[in-house]
A = this chain, B = another copy of it.
Amino acid sequence: MTNIQMIEAARDRLAGRVRRTPLLSSSFLDEIAGRRVFVKAECLQHTGSFKFRGAWSAISALLPEVRTRGVIAFSSGNHAQGVALAARLHRIPSVIVMPSDAPRIKIENTRAYGAEVVLYDRSSEDRDAIGARISQERGLTLIRPFDDPMVIAGQGTAGLEIAEQAAEEGLDTADVLVPTGGGGFASGIALALDAKAPGLRVRPCEPEGFDDVARSLAAGRIERNASQSGSICDAIVTPQPGNLTFPILSRLCGPGIAVTDDEALRAMALAFQRLKIVVEPGGAVALAAALFHGDSTAGTVIAVISGGNVDNDVFAEALSLRH
């Protein structure tokens, strides 16, 4: 189980490799929200998302004789790029198993970070079987996207930064809104804040209709999403909270907040206009909650941007909306 010592050890392993992303703000956003809003811009992290933290943490924690054989991951998105870059910087091989219908740009980026991409047909092939066969043949270690203590510890390093940056701003009480899929980012941040800034509380944020974490927290047991597609925030849609992350979320976080796709797009446009950062739809749900769901929080909020890997046309669409 991840604890603060593991997060601090992950920070030490990440030193000089991870970017300390800035805490931004704009009086224009404060005015919309009717309160102070700080924005932790993790879209500026290497590979464009926080996933690099967890990937580096997990890979750097492997025994050298295990690590040297390489790693494998299943992902078509931010986790793929995080693992690929972390592996390359460790000079070890990585295999990323992706559906053959994944966007070409994501496949190309993952390859460009040095990974071997193995494509499978979603309709006819079993992803897990393919992955199991390849890892067994080559002795690769599986890097899970969230349900892994070392991945959670790596994501928690963002929480250590938030605790420091909040202190620099004189903030000792605030809700910290975090885009949440499987819960690795939210639970890592929550563990760090619980130890370093107990007045800061994590509030998981999700797309409306895919709020498995909010519902699970409310019910006190893991609940699933009815569907896994249909939100523009696809990067943070997962079937259900993780077995490792849910107990942490349950102990330290909540209640959850759900936002609409339209609110996420409006938050992207405002982040463009007022903060000059590029945010992907799923990465914008916490900022959307801060701006448009003021009734769900009280006082100053810190909205975490989880990533900025968005296609040109989706971003242009967000900018073209008239609000």
Q: Give the interface of A toward B (CB within 8 A).
A: 19, 21-22, 24, 27-28, 41, 43-44, 48, 85, 112-113, 269, 272-273, 275-279, 308, 312-313, 315-316, 319-320
A27 proximity list for chain B (CB < 8 A) = 85, 112-113
A276 to B49, CA, bound (A): 10
Task: Kindly identify which residue among B112, B113, B273, B276 contacts A277, using a CB–CB cutoff of 8 Å.
Answer: B276
Once the chains are docked, how many angstroms separate the CA of A272 from the CA of B308?
9
Check A44–B277 contact: CB distance below 8 A.
yes
Query: With A and B bound together, what is the CA distance between A28 and B48 in angstroms?
Result: 12
Identical chains in the assembly: 2
In the assembled complex, the Cα of A107 lies from the Cα of B260 at a distance in Å of: 31
Q: Can you report 27 A-B residue pairs in the complex whose CB atoms are below 8 A from each other? A: A19-B22, A19-B24, A21-B22, A22-B22, A24-B44, A27-B85, A27-B112, A27-B113, A28-B112, A41-B44, A44-B275, A44-B276, A48-B276, A269-B312, A272-B278, A272-B312, A272-B315, A273-B312, A276-B277, A276-B278, A276-B308, A277-B278, A278-B278, A313-B319, A316-B316, A316-B319, A316-B320
A316-B313 Cα distance, complex, nearest whole Å: 8
Q: Which residues of B contact A22 (CB under 8 A)?
A: 19, 21-22, 44
Chain A interface SS verdict (over half): helix
Residues on the B chain within 8 Å of A308, using CB: 276
9 more A-B residue pairs beyond the given contacts A277-B277, A312-B319, with a C-beta to C-beta distance below 8 A: A24-B44, A27-B112, A44-B277, A272-B315, A273-B312, A276-B279, A277-B278, A312-B320, A316-B319
Nearest to A280 among chain B residues (CB) is B276
Kindly list chain B residues whose C-beta atoms are within 8 Å of the C-beta of A24: 19, 44
Q: Nearest Cβ distance between residue A214 and chain B, in whole angstroms? A: 27
A211 to chain B, nearest CB (A): 26
What 6 pairs across the A-B complex have the smallest Cβ distances? A276-B308, A276-B278, A312-B319, A316-B316, A43-B276, A316-B319
Q: How far is the CA of A313 from the CA of B322 in the complex (A)?
A: 12
The chain B residue sitting closest to A273, CB to CB, is: B312
A85, A278, A315, A320 — most chain B CB neighbours (10 Å): A278
Across-interface contacts of A48 in B (CB, < 8 A): 276
Complex Cα distance A112/B26, Å? 12
Nearest B-chain residue to A269, judged by Cβ: B312
Contacts of A19 in B (CB 8 A): 22, 24
